[in-house]
Structure 1
């Protein structure tokens, strides 16, 4: 190949004129253009919303889940769940670097891709035979292609690969939470994190504390998760509520915050139907950050209008400059947070 488009449009098979994320199919040919990088794939990490949808659809049947993931990749040349529209990310070893690649990567370097699998040309060569279909992390062999505007990070030497992958998968969340909360720090903002016991949720709690939020509320679904949050020690208050029940959620957050909504509400729940509750749980003039691929943005926009809610709504796009380093900093600074992630990865493996 000659030099390709830095955004990967030359890899789009259909429809013509679309970018890789919106494309129906990509060309995963392992031959690289002058500005591309080929990665030898070692492990995929399916995003939580995508894996939950597949798990629910197939009733937890690992063989059926594996077969569908293989079919998606074979059909689309990338991993993009057709229901949720989401993908995940991967780790692997740099196999080849085009002479005009601006990414600064070198052959033999172990990396995590920080761009979604929904726009990454991907080829699977081992039929995912080492994966039982019962976890988000997928041992795999194959090749993936990075473009001139892709993002990747070296795997830290002092962290197990599976743990690093779990952290990098959600590293955009804490970085954006820090930015949003810091901008309001003069007024002592309160923060509510929905889905606080998950990966992105727990890191968002840490980021809110790091940004000097006046009060942080962890919203969890049951007493088991509440106990985990108490041990983690990153929340000033813990509220147990169903995030898909708008009135219950709003009451729980208001009670935790002394009768008012949160200045910043962060949605990290990997199931649909949390939009209206998040809006109701947010104070007038506050901000809702949606960090779940299960979010329906039409529901969020129309819901805010219908509720006459004067709130700013942000889409967490997964990229903030320095997001990978910041997530690693939070992990290394808080041993109990690392323990939480390690336990979760251990259950998946």
Structure 2
């Protein structure tokens, strides 16, 4: 590698513009040769985040081949998978191919792992042209390599779950961990909160409902846009009440949450479409908390909307990392049959 000092956060892999962190970079150096504190992963499967995949699919009118070519073009141009419209990426699973002698990540060659950091900051090369992907699902069979830095996060894949299921869970494992933390903060103050999860039948939403109940919520409300999803969520038994509402319609969302037992003390936004900020704020009790766990969120719309509504709510950005988040999400999957049923159902649809 070039005669330069490796940075634990990956600054040495930034090609353009210099001086920014890898996530903010336009281009990364994705060459396979590693620095002493890096790890190289042989890629098996990517998981595009929901907002990014939806944007690509809609931009190409559902043309899977066009979506595939867009992903290949992004990775080739940027040295990473970062949707230029949504700014988001996803994560991946693969096998550890080489470990630098100074790497602190605790993995060994041959370990099957999931990266718990975003593809938006992970140097990536694809070598098979995504030949085994039809462009019609978030999970992407792929061959190539990815690079992890000293401050990356990685987890070994559990032996009792198929890789596709592990990948789907670990892709959203920050949501249930943060939801549980917030709910416990209420319980610790003697308040058993009402928790509303917008997008409750999705991956992050179903885990967040399970986490809220596990952490001591008094009542859980799952918000979904379609009757088919309401039926799936009711069957899963993860919510005390399931309500139909378009989360982009603030008044309709408020009414749905109130009829289901709200307003909510804690609202968790887990949908992959823009325009849900005002409804989330409006349907949250004064003094409550809104957790935005969607890459489709406009944080300026959330902040200005709360101001315009004179809403005294705390707004949190789910950053995808809470200590122990992967283990906690996998535990919820194993312990809650409804969560597993929803995840396996979505995988079967893909």
Fold shared per TM-score above 0.5 = yes
**1:106 partner SS:** coil
Q: Could you say which residue in structure 2 is the equivalent of 1:129?
A: 131
- 5 Å-filtered alignment, 1:78-97, equals 78-97=80-99
Q: CA deviation at 1:336?
A: 2.5
Q: Could you say which residue in structure 1 is the equivalent of 2:327?
A: 325
Q: CA deviation at 1:206?
A: 0.2
Is the aligned partner of 1:230 residue 2:208? no
Output the CA distance in 1 between the equivalents of 2:123 and 2:93.
14
Output the CA distance in 2 between the equivalents of 1:75 and 1:30.
16
Q: Could you say which residue in structure 2 is the equivalent of 1:308?
A: 310
Structure 2 residues without counterparts, runs of 5 or longer: none
Offset from partner CA, 1:244-300 (integer Å, 9 cap, x none): 00110011111211xx51000000010000000000010000000000000000000
- The partner residue of 2:267 within 255, 261, 265 is 265
Offset from partner CA, 1:203-256 (integer Å, 9 cap, x none): 000000001100100001111111111111111111100000011001111121
- The partner residue of 1:254 within 251, 258, 269 is 258
Instruction: Report how many aligned residue pairs link the two structures.
Output: 346
Q: Could you say which residue in structure 1 is the equivalent of 2:222?
A: 218
**1:21 partner SS:** helix
- The partner residue of 1:176 within 178, 196, 199 is 178
TM-score by length of 2: 0.98
- 5 Å-filtered alignment, 1:67-216, equals 67-185=69-187, 186-216=190-220
CA contact (8 A) 1:168 1:324 kept: yes
Task: Detail structure 1 runs of 4+ shifted over 3 Å in the superposition.
Answer: none
Q: CA deviation at 1:182?
A: 0.4
- The partner residue of 1:344 within 340, 343, 346 is 346
Q: Could you say which residue in structure 2 is the equivalent of 1:292?
A: 294
Offset from partner CA, 1:45-95 (integer Å, 9 cap, x none): 000000000010001100000000000000000000000000000000000
**1:184 partner SS:** helix
- 5 Å-filtered alignment, 1:39-54, equals 39-54=41-56
- RMSD (Å), alpha carbons: 0.7
Output the CA distance in 1 between the equivalents of 2:75 and 2:144.
11
Output the CA distance in 2 between the equivalents of 1:11 and 1:191.
42
**1:279 partner SS:** helix
Is the aligned partner of 1:56 residue 2:53? no
Output the CA distance in 1 between the equivalents of 2:205 and 2:215.
15
Output the CA distance in 1 between the equivalents of 2:127 and 2:40.
14
Structure 1 residues without counterparts, runs of 5 or longer: none
**2:114 partner SS:** strand
Q: CA deviation at 1:157?
A: 0.5
TM-score by length of 1: 0.98
Output the CA distance in 2 between the equivalents of 1:138 and 1:208.
30
Output the CA distance in 1 between the equivalents of 2:201 and 2:240.
14
- The partner residue of 2:9 within 7, 10, 15 is 7
Q: Could you say which residue in structure 2 is the equivalent of 1:281?
A: 283
**1:72 partner SS:** helix
